[in-house]
């Protein structure tokens, strides 16, 4: 097989060439040209694949994101196709209609890509930096925990419960990241904790 050509592209190209040559042998020269012009390259050829998890529900189906290399999109890698991950044990390549429409969600102009904050009493949300948002979350965590952590129960046993703050984790994490999140959050004493997907 020639260097730089994938097996799939080679087979597609070989099939097209054989069909065109056969048509040419029967005198269909114009048809041969038309057919050759109509053949499009396989659209996922040359894309970069990234595995991820559908963000919608607790089933946590595996997906593959196909992106065009940055060189083809002026320096910005762009996702152009999303499909179910055939190697994922949960969905084996299938997606429900919601998951199958993920590309619309990724490319939606309404999608939030930066944190927003609405100050107490304010009517509008304003965009804030990630540093500002993370500092604010950390500060609020600390203040609330210092004030409300229950260290012992009525019988004097150590419990270290923190029940005035809850934590919700998202699905696009690996098992390992989810495990670490669980350890950190439970280590702080949070009882109200859930992970959106059962990864």
Minimum CB separation of residue 62 from ligand SF4 in Å reads 9
- Which positions from 41 through 100 interact with ligand SF4, judged by CB under 6 A? 54, 56-57, 59-61, 91, 95-96, 98-99
Find where tokens 């004493």 sit: 189
Smallest separation (angstroms) from ligand SF4 to the CB of 155: 43
DSSP helix/strand/coil, 24: helix
Q: How many residues bind ligand SF4 (CB under 6 A)?
A: 11
Rounded CA-CA distance 64/199 in Å is 16
Closest C-alpha among 109, 103, 97 to residue 78: 103
Cα three-residue angle 153-166-196, rounded to 5 degrees? 130
Q: Does 199 bind ligand SF4 (CB under 6 A)?
A: no
54 or 190, CB closer to ligand SF4?
Answer: 54
Shortest spacing between CB 97 and ligand SF4, in angstroms: 8
46 SS3 class: coil
Closer CB to ligand SF4, 23 or 197, in the complex: 197
Residue 85: CB minimum distance to ligand SF4, A: 11
Structural contact between residues 53 and 172, judged by C-beta atoms closer than 8 angstroms: yes
Beta bridge partners of 195: 169
The residues of the shown chain that bind ligand SF4, judged by CB under 6 A, are 54, 56-57, 59-61, 91, 95-96, 98-99
């Amino acid at each position: 097989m020639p260097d730089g050509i994938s097996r799939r592209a080679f087979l597609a190209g070989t099939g097209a060439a054989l069909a065109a040559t056969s048509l040419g042998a029967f005198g269909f020269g114009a048809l041969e040209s038309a057919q050759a012009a109509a053949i499009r390259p396989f659209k996922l050829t040359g894309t970069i694949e990234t595995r991820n998890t559908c963000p919608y529900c607790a089933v946590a189906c595996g997906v593959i994101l196909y992106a065009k290399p940055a060189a083809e999109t002026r320096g910005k890698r762009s996702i152009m196709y999303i499909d179910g991950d055939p190697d994922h044990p949960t969905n084996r390549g299938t997606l429900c209609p919601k998951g199958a429409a993920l590309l619309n969600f990724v490319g939606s102009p309404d999608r939030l890509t930066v944190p927003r904050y609405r100050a107490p009493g304010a009517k509008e949300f304003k965009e804030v930096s990630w540093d500002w948002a993370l500092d604010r979350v950390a500060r609020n965590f600390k203040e609330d925990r210092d004030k409300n952590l229950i260290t012992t129960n009525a019988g004097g046993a150590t419990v270290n419960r923190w029940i005035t703050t809850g934590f919700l984790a998202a699905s696009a994490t690996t098992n390992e990241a989810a495990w670490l999140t669980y350890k950190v959050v439970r280590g702080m004493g949070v009882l109200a904790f859930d992970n959106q997907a059962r990864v």
